[in-house]
């Protein structure tokens, strides 16, 4: 299994109901938990959004400009399902951003698809109108189906990031050689739960999600972390490693 879609499908067969992603925001006290099945459904919807609405296809690039949030792994998974390269370039073929990124990206909406996430609970729409041409993920994503099959699926040699192929991305052995040290490396065992405050959409943080996925484990992601509360989250979520 050397593509994202293959790994996710294997986890769905293995234990579809187990938690895969648990998200905390200490600034708002929000907590969201996605099982493997629920995560896969969101990835399918996001994949449909990127292909049917943003008109992206295998080999194109996506900038995921989001803070640490449960939607970051969703859009990463959607990109890799389609065969997009998640890029740090300032000239991507499309952008997914949060409210803080609107000032940077909204002006490009006439020529580049800009999909904006409100980051409000349950993935709901923005409360205020968005700049012209910017697509509200909280509106557009709900009409997409819960299943998705790429018509031109990527292979293991397709680039998943600017530096890593899908095979390399999903091989824990490559993480240390590409400075993906945020994923706790060998300290995360199969089936383990990784507590992280690192943005999965940032190049150093990508492995904080992919490594738990490959190992049949899960990610506990904390935004706006309160240092005084992290030990409590670690214990309550039965985490086994930190990043």
Cα separation, 122 vs 18, whole angstroms: 19
CA distance 64 to 195: 21
Tokens (6 digits) for 145 = 């189906």
At 153 the pLDDT is 96
Whether the per-residue pLDDT at 193 is higher than 90: the answer is: yes
Task: Sketch out the chain's domains with CATH numbers.
Answer: 4-242 (3.40.50.12780)
The DSSP line for 23-73 is: EEETTTTEEEEEEHHHHHHHHHHHHHIIIIIS---TT-EEEEE--SSTHHH
Task: Give the pLDDT of residue 166.
Answer: 96
* Residue 6 dihedral angles phi and psi, to the nearest 5°: -65, -40
- Average pLDDT over every residue of 167-177: 75
Average pLDDT score over residue span 163-167: 95
Q: Tens of pLDDT along 29-84?
A: 999 999 999 999 999 999 999 999 999 999 999 999 999 999 999 999 999 999 99
Distance between CA atoms of residues 164 and 85, nearest Å: 9
- Tens digit of each residue's pLDDT (9 = 90 or more) over 69-101: 999 999 999 999 999 999 999 999 999 999 999
At residue 115, the 3 state secondary structure works out as strand
Q: Is the pLDDT of residue 223 over 90?
A: yes
Given pLDDT bands bounded at 50, 70 and 90, which one contains residue 184? very low
pLDDT at 138 over 90: yes
The tokens describing 45, both together, are 């919807």
Task: Give exposure, 9-39, as e/b (b: 16+ Cβ within 10 Å).
Answer: eebeeeeeeebbbbbbbbeeebebbbbbbbb
């Amino acid at each position: 299994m050397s593509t994202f879609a293959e790994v996710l499908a294997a986890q769905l067969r293995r234990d579809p109901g187990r938690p895969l992603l648990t998200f905390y925001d200490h600034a708002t006290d929000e907590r969201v938990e996605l099982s493997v099945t629920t995560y896969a459904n969101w990835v399918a919807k996001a994949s449909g959004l990127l292909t049917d609405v943003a008109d992206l296809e295998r080999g194109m690039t996506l900038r995921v400009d989001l803070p640490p949030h449960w939607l970051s792994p969703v859009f990463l998974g959607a990109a890799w399902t389609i065969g997009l390269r998640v890029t740090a370039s300032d000239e991507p073929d499309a952008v997914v951003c949060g409210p803080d990124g609107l000032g940077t990206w909204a002006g490009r909406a006439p020529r580049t698809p800009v999909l904006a996430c409100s980051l409000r609970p349950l993935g709901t729409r923005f409360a205020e109108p968005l700049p012209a041409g910017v697509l509200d993920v909280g509106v557009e994503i709900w009409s997409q189906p819960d299943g998705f099959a790429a018509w031109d699926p990527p292979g293991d040699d397709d680039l998943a990031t600017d530096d890593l192929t899908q095979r390399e991305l999903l091989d824990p052995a490559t993480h240390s050689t590409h400075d993906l040290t945020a994923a706790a490396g060998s300290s995360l065992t199969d089936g383990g739960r990784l507590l992280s405050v690192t943005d999965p959409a940032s190049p150093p943080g990508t492995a904080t999600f992919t490594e738990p996925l490959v190992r049949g484990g899960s990610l506990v992601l904390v935004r706006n972390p309160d240092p005084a509360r992290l030990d409590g989250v670690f214990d309550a979520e039965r985490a086994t490693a930190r990043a």
